[in-house]
Amino acid sequence: MTHPTIELACKLIEEKSVTPEDALCQPMMIERLEAIGFKVERLRFGDVDNFWAVRGDSGPLFAFAGHTDVVPSGKEAEWQHPPFKATIEGDLLYGRGAADMKGSLAAMVTACEEFVSQHPDHQGRIAFLITSDEEGIAINGTVKVVEWLEARNEKITWCLVGEPSSTNTVGDVVKNGRRGSLGCELRVIGKQGHVAYPHLASNPVHLAAPALAELAQEVWDEGNAFFPATSFQISNIQAGTGATNVIPGDLKVVFNFRFSTELSAEELQKRCENILRKHGLNFECKWHLSGQPFLTAKGELVAAAQKAIRDHCALETELSTAGGTSDGRFIAPTGAQVLELGPVNATIHQVNEHTSCEELIRLHNIYTSVLHNLLVAK
């Protein structure tokens, strides 16, 4: 199947850009964008390559955002086709990053090429915010670029993130927000001793159990029209020396809140620690806020995406905030309208990751129409 989007997606897949490496993905994109009038600034923070590219001098700013890094392939012998050799079988394009998110990146670039050829004097500005630090620890990627933009007082009006948002067919689901993520490393302090002499020790597992049960049963909020209720989940518990006759001296618990816009991270911390204190625990908490919740309930970007999907897919898209976090969490707090729109996510991070070539071409058409809907006079 020959189409500029498929051809570029194949080239990007064949760059082994395992996070935080970019390999040659960004130079490939930059060359194409500079050829159609984008001014590019390469931004390297730590060991991470990023770039910011802009076309146009004034007016509202529409930005495509995405990442060139991918997760490791795992055991290559388990793949039907080599993970870093793009393979087309029927309508399916196989390779690590085909769906997450090199297919989207290709569609963004080729959509801009088509749009600029049709509207060289378009209204407003078009930008690309691209990183190679999304699948990893995400400290030298989009968050740093956004800080750099804020220091220059550069404001994004609309941002379309190419994350694989779709469920069954491209465009059926668009993410118009994400829950916040607040993690905690809890240490409950007891006193080590012999299991035969419990009166001389203080077992932190026994002490913490009622408090953990209460945290798990607590109703943190009821959610709202866009978000489910906030959830609390324990992911790790560790205590003991490995010996069967020693009461542990401390208990370590790792847990996470995925929270809605109904309450803040500060409120969650306070309520959680109040429950721990109520149970008389001697404890320490190390909190980590991965991202605030964000929501684009309506606006020009939502309308532009809905119309584009309706025109090219003949369906009414579902607006959803389900799933994990994305780099949209760094962009939305600046005041931008943010949406995530990309391929079907059924095989992302899996062996034999793939996406539909036909749907990548449709995604190219959707992106082109979004640009038209926002940047061409009605």
Give pLDDT tens digits for 309-343: 999 999 999 999 988 888 999 999 999 999 999 99
Q: Across all residues in the chain, what is the average pLDDT?
A: 96
- CA pair distance 210, 212, nearest whole angstrom: 5
pLDDT of 324? 81
Mean pLDDT of 171-188: 96
pTM confidence score: 0.89
Specify whether 134 is catalytic: yes
pLDDT of 144? 97
**209 pLDDT higher than 80:** yes
What ranges make up the beta strands (E) of the chain? 39-45, 48-55, 61-67, 87-89, 92-94, 125-131, 158-161, 173-175, 177-178, 180-189, 193-194, 231-239, 246-247, 250-259, 283-291, 294-295, 318-320, 337-340, 354-356
Pair 296, 176: CB distance under 8 Å: yes
Q: Of the candidates 118, 193, 133, which has an alpha carbon nearest to the alpha carbon of residue 371?
A: 118
**360 pLDDT higher than 70:** yes
- CA pair distance 285, 290, nearest whole angstrom: 16
Specify whether 69 is catalytic: yes
Quickly list H helices, the chain: 4-13, 25-34, 103-118, 142-151, 204-217, 265-278, 300-313, 328-331, 357-375
pLDDT above 90 covers a percentage of the chain that reads 96
Each residue's pLDDT tens digit, 34-66: 999 999 999 999 999 999 999 999 999 999 999
The single residue of 15, 69, 327, 359 carrying the catalytic annotation is 69
Provide CB contacts within 8 A for 366, sequence distance 6+. Answer: 170, 171, 305, 308, 309, 312, 313, 341
Beta bridge partners of 202: 191
The single residue of 14, 100, 114, 134 carrying the catalytic annotation is 134
pLDDT class of 114 with cuts at 50, 70, 90: very high
pLDDT class of 1 with cuts at 50, 70, 90: low
**230 pLDDT higher than 90:** yes
pLDDT of 334? 94
Count of alpha carbons within 13 Å of 364, Cβ hemisphere only?
A: 24
Count of alpha carbons within 13 Å of 308, Cβ hemisphere only?
A: 26
pLDDT of 309? 98
Q: Considering only CA atoms, give the Rg of the chain.
A: 24
**378 pLDDT higher than 80:** no
Identify the residue whose tokens are 């060991």. Answer: 47
Each residue's pLDDT tens digit, 280-289: 999 999 999 9
pLDDT of 377? 80
**212 pLDDT higher than 90:** yes
